[in-house]
Structure 1
Amino acid sequence: MRIVQVMTPRGVYAAVVESRDQLRLIDFPGGTYALARAAIAEGVTLAEFIASRRCHELLDYKQALDKRLLLPPVTHPDPAHCLVTGTGLTHLGSADTRSAMHAHTDESELTDSMRMFKLGVEGGKPQAERVGAQPEWFYKGDGSIVVAPERPFEVPAFAEDAGEEPELVGVYLNGPDGTPYRLGYAVGNEFSDHVTERANYLWLAHSKLRPCSFGPELLIGELPTYLEGESRIVREGKVMWCKPFLTGEANMAHSLANLEHHHFKYAQFRLPGDLHVHYFGTATLSFADGVEVRDGDRFEIELPTLGRALCNPVRFAPRSNDTPVRVHSL
């Protein structure tokens, strides 16, 4: 089952993807967040709860996209209670990357990044009931930085780069007792500043504080272990860069369960009612091929198993002065 979240004249509602052309509204106000909370309260799965609330009202999927009525597939009523995070160096990557790692026999020759990658390869998929190696982790922002499908990424004036990152996303809601519930998976564009990151790896945190997007659909249920998608950049109506990408556990150094454990082991990430949007990493970037994204370019990221492609144009902010800070004496 795949669902979307759409703005209607009556407010925000979730809808089941019936086909590429049609959406079936779910008769429950408040969207996916409200649905998930109700399902947890009743002790049933999200899919079971949705099945009992389907209605006869159908919506035109393309029309909803064209009119920009689609929201991210899950949103929190208060964006401050949505935490957007991610893990890096999680995917096996290209053969070149692996060859570069295996070419080093002296541990002292490895960079910090390669040591982290090696830890994941060797211990990211532990046996049952064991904890594996912890991954690189980063913070992107709260729910206010999530951009809806078809809406533009705003590139801040201070940015050095505006690069896509095609990724698998996990979405979680903490229950009343703090237990995290995985709602489903979506395709995501994590969007980062790779020039800043390349200049000094300690600037990774700065490079990640950018907008992002996920959706338009949320897959509810089991995720295949092998996923193949395509990442594209369209410029002036023509595809100027295109590359396949792989994700899913078969293409990762870490298991999803291990990544989830190392995120939710922190008590502050288990606050009741909070929503978590977590990016699981990638191994494919246009930046690695020397592409420089321009104002007006359009990102298209597609994982067919997860439904329609996620599309977002890019808009560069004009240069401006620094944000002033006012100091009040007490």
Structure 2
Amino acid sequence: MVSAPRLLLIAIAVASIPVYLAFMTSEGLLVQVAGAVVILFLVSLVLFTGRSPIAPDSRKSISPNNEQVDFGDIELPDSVLSDESASKSPVSELRRTRGRKQLSEIDEFQIPEPLHYSADPSNDETSPITDFEEEIEGLAKVHIARSDPELLAEAEVDRYLEKQRSRRAEFRERMIRERRRELSERISANLRKWSELEDGEDLSAITKMPDSGLSVFFEPEDHDPTIPQGTSYVRIDDNRVLKVRISLDVPKNITLDEERTKFSEMEEMPPPSHLDSGMPLPPLLPPEPPDLPLRED
């Protein structure tokens, strides 16, 4: 028989479905989801609650074996006992004999005689040799794994030191890269400054301007426009500029001997005059900054 609370729960679950269809479908999505969750909760309560069915008793009634059998008026003769059975005591009848043997039936254990081995190697064929002395391949051996706290601590320390070394190496490489980058930027800035000082003003662009106020002198004055030429500007004073034109055409009839003579003449040229006059040499590149000390962790 179904209990009253369960009947009430079933009625509420059944009634909630038309209520949901009538009132909840016109509401928002959140209200619909909440109503569906409530209905599912009621249905699950109906399905998974209630009393469990009583299992039928599988025990069988054990019929007593000690019931006295009535054979009516039939008289049974007395049991015939042999002389041996009559002479036995009740204690001997209760002795357990199943799975055991009489002491008289157990044979005495005979200790085998030890084998005598001769020291003469010539009698190896006749002497019995056992195979236990030979090492058997593939035989499993017992291995006991032990955990030593000291070894575990040393392994942990080694791992920590190795990690610190790797971090220190990465930090050192990063510092070296940063120092090289800063040094290259510093050198490039100095070279750019020196090049601006040495190059000076752009005379080629200034002479092309109509209101520059500079008079340009050409050297040589006559040139062949079909031959490629290189030009260089030299300022004479504030109002004059010399434009030197050098032909870049190399004649093909010059032999190897002539080139060697030209090079030998260039090697025999005297040193510049400013060295003899005692004038100071142009400034050299500044020395490199000292290496920054590395800071270790």
Shorter-chain TM band = under 0.3
Q: Which has the larger radius of gyration?
A: 2
**Which is richer in helix?**
2
